[in-house]
Amino acid sequence: MRKLAAGNWKMNGLKADGTALAKEVVARAAGAPLSCDILICPPATLLDRVAAILAGSAVALGAQNCHTQQKGAHTGEIGAAMLKDLGCSYVILGHSERRAEQGESDALVRAKALAARAAGLVPIVCVGETLTERDGGKTLDVLARQLQGSIPEGLAGGELVIAYEPVWAIGTGRTPTTAQVAEVHAHIRKGLAGQVRDAAAARILYGGSVKPSNAKELMSVPDVNGALIGGASLIAADFWSIAEACS
């Protein structure tokens, strides 16, 4: 399956450095086309500018959140149709930072995923266990529950992306062993089979401290179909090196 290298810029980037970063990614994509899909997800404030930079390139645009409704009286929120209108094709949903900071539940993530699909966006639904859950031997149960609750029924595998991001690996420099990643990704693939049509076509990304130094090893694990990259996606050379490992 063609892998996806997705950069999650989180709440980083002002006009100057954000546009410079996007231009550098586009220049690298033009210089050396890769056999993977490339996506960057800047903060909402930069989407319009970055869309103009990505136009005509092989780099896709994504957002980091959307509302459950497309429009209406929801002060401060952004609807999926608005993101589509800006040129987005993906939206990250249920990231552990939002689950923790905004208290997003599985049911909310599911409603957002439905809204994303209705607007023609591909949701990247994030799941992952905390360190306490892993140490307590609950990882697979937690992931099964999150998947069950966060993924709408009736979708086909190609209409969504799952990102497995162990909470304890995000921004910490720690990564699971390849055996742990393999176990979880196989578990997710199996669980998806009961939830979506053609589950084999769903891309399952690994995320959490992916770096140029560990990307090749992580991307070689069975059922790892790409990476969701946080910190390293803010440095064009590092992001590109990881994309090459996806290629």
**Torsion angles phi and psi, residue 134, rounded to 5:** -65, -50
- Please report whether residue 245 would count as binding ligand PGA according to CB under 6 A: no
**Binding-site string for ligand PGA from residue 153 to residue 192, where x marks contact by CB under 6 A and - marks none:** ------------x----xx---------------------
What is the number of the residue whose Cβ is closest to ligand PGA?
A: 230
Q: Which residues are catalytic?
A: 95, 165
- The verdict on 246 binding ligand PGA (CB under 6 A) reads no
Contacts of 47 by beta carbon, 8 Å cutoff, 6+ apart: 61, 63, 83, 86, 87, 88
Ranges within 91-120 binding ligand PGA (CB under 6 A): none
- Nearest C-alpha neighbor of 84 from the set 117, 111, 129: 117
> 139: which residues sit within 8 A by CB, 6+ positions away?
129, 133, 184
Binding-site member from 64, 65, 209, 225 for ligand PGA (CB under 6 A): 209
Radius of gyration of the chain (CA): 17
C-alpha distance across the termini of the chain, in Å: 11
Q: Which stretch binds ligand PGA (CB under 6 A): 57-65, 67-75, 105-113, 228-236?
A: 228-236
Give per-residue burial for 166-188: e unless 16+ CB within 10 Å, then b. bbbbbeeeebbebeebebbbebb
- Judged by CB under 6 A, the chain residues 44 through 73 that form the site for ligand PGA are none
Taking the C-alpha atoms of residue 104 and residue 98, their distance in angstroms, rounded to an integer, is 6
How many residues sit close enough to ligand PGA to count as binding (CB under 6 A)?
Answer: 13
- Using the rule CB under 6 A, is 208 a contact of ligand PGA? yes
Q: Which of 114, 162, 228, 246 binds ligand PGA (CB under 6 A)?
A: 228
231 binds ligand PGA (CB under 6 A): yes
131 is an interface residue for ligand PGA by CB under 6 A: no
Contact residue for ligand PGA among 61, 109, 151, 210 (CB under 6 A):
210
The set of residues, in sequence order, having a beta carbon less than 8 Å from that of 109 and lying 6+ positions away, is 93, 94, 99, 125, 149, 150
Beta bridge mates, 61: 40
Query: Applying CB under 6 A, which residues contact ligand PGA?
Result: 8, 165, 170-171, 207-210, 228-232
